[in-house]
Amino acid sequence: MQLATLLEALFPGGHAVQVAGQVVTGSATTAAGPVTVIGTTDHAEIGIEHALALAAAVLASTRAHPAQPILMLVDTAGQRPTRHDELLAINGYLAHLAECLDLARRRGARLVALIYGEAVSGGFLSFGLMADAIYALPQAQVRVMNLQAMARVTRQPVERLQALAASSPVFAPGVENYVAMGCVQALWDGDLAAALLAALRAPAGLAPRAALGRQRGGRLLAAAIADRVAGGEA
């Protein structure tokens, strides 16, 4: 879905959202009050300047209205793999973005992420995955890596991966896998403004992803393993 169409559907009451250099910033009106809107568009490859622009918007929102919810619109092809980004340590810029989002949450801002395009790897990890709850449009594409590249790196035949992917959501690309793993709360179809409102009015706090993953059958071990370690089992 095009960003302009998405914004109209999410905010029938109006919005003041701009795009500059593939980075989306601004605010919008909802029946639950104003929300800060940040994100990326055009399947942006996240480089150091994108990370800085997003972090700046989060910090500004936290300073100006700490309790104002932040809607994170996710459409990224992942991190930009260039010499310059690595030389200047893009991992540090992305960690900074994650820290800013976490601080916003601690200061009372609910973080809601909506994947409307692509959500890939490091670009997703330091942005969308920092949200309290993550939603997606049915056509969203979520992955760590495409299957062909994965087959090359792991030295597994791509046919074998494809066959296994049919029965296991643990590695293959696909938003439905992330729903099954308990990472994406739900898909939004139809009245997007109503779906957003429901998300803004849902109980606050980080969604219990590990428990949800176990419940949905996609991530059967993680919750129990983490509990056992947290509980001090030798």
Partner 1 sequence: MNAAGSTGAAVPADRSWYEASARARLDGLLDPGSFGELLGPRTRTLSPHLAMLDLPGAFDDGIVVGSGRLAGRAVLVAAQEGAFMGGAVGEVHGAKLAGLLRRACALRPDGVLLLPDSGGVRLHEANAGLIALSEIIHGLLAVRAAGIPVLALIGGSNGAFGGMGIAARCCDHVIMSEEGRLALSGPEVIETVRGVEEFDARDRALVWRTTGGKHRYLLGEADALVADGIGAFRTAALAALAADDAHRADDLDALTAAHAALVRRSARYGACRDGLEIWRAQGIAEPERLPLLDAPDFLAAVAGRDA
User: Does 57 contact partner 1 by CB under 8 A?
Assistant: no
| Closer to partner 1 by Cβ: residue 4 or 225 | 225
Tokens of 205: 């706090």
- Interacting residue with partner 1 among 84, 108, 186, 189 (CB under 8 A): 84
| Closer to partner 1 by Cβ: residue 9 or 77 | 77
Interaction residues for partner 1, span 160-199 (CB under 8 A)? 160, 164, 168-172, 177-178, 181-183
What CA–CA distance (Å, rounded) separates 204 from 52? Answer: 27
What CA–CA distance (Å, rounded) separates 22 from 46? Answer: 9
User: Does 73 contact partner 1 by CB under 8 A?
Assistant: no
Strands (E), the chain: 15-20, 23-30, 33-40, 44-46, 70-74, 76-79, 111-115, 118-120, 133-136, 141-143, 186-187
Q: Are 120 and 144 in contact (CB under 8 A)?
A: yes
User: Does 49 contact partner 1 by CB under 8 A?
Assistant: yes
| Closer to partner 1 by Cβ: residue 83 or 203 | 83
- Only one of the segments 12-20, 68-76, 191-199, 215-223 lies at the binding site for partner 1 (rule: CB under 8 A); that segment is 215-223
Q: Residues near 49 by Cβ (< 8 Å), separated by ≥ 6?
A: 21
| Closer to partner 1 by Cβ: residue 4 or 95 | 95
Minimum separation from the CB atom of position 2 to partner 1 (A): 27
> SS3 string of 75-131?
CEEEECCCHHHHHCCHHHHHHHHHHHHHHHHHCCCCEEEEECCEEEHHHHHCCHHHC
User: Does 42 contact partner 1 by CB under 8 A?
Assistant: no
Interaction residues for partner 1, span 96-135 (CB under 8 A)? 96, 98-100, 102-103, 106-107, 121-122, 124-126, 129-130
| Closer to partner 1 by Cβ: residue 32 or 165 | 165
Minimum separation from the CB atom of position 69 to partner 1 (A): 18
User: Does 82 contact partner 1 by CB under 8 A?
Assistant: yes
- Interacting residue with partner 1 among 166, 190, 203, 232 (CB under 8 A): 232
- The pairs formed by 83-87 with CB atoms below 8 angstroms and a separation of 24 or more are 84/48, 85/47, 85/48
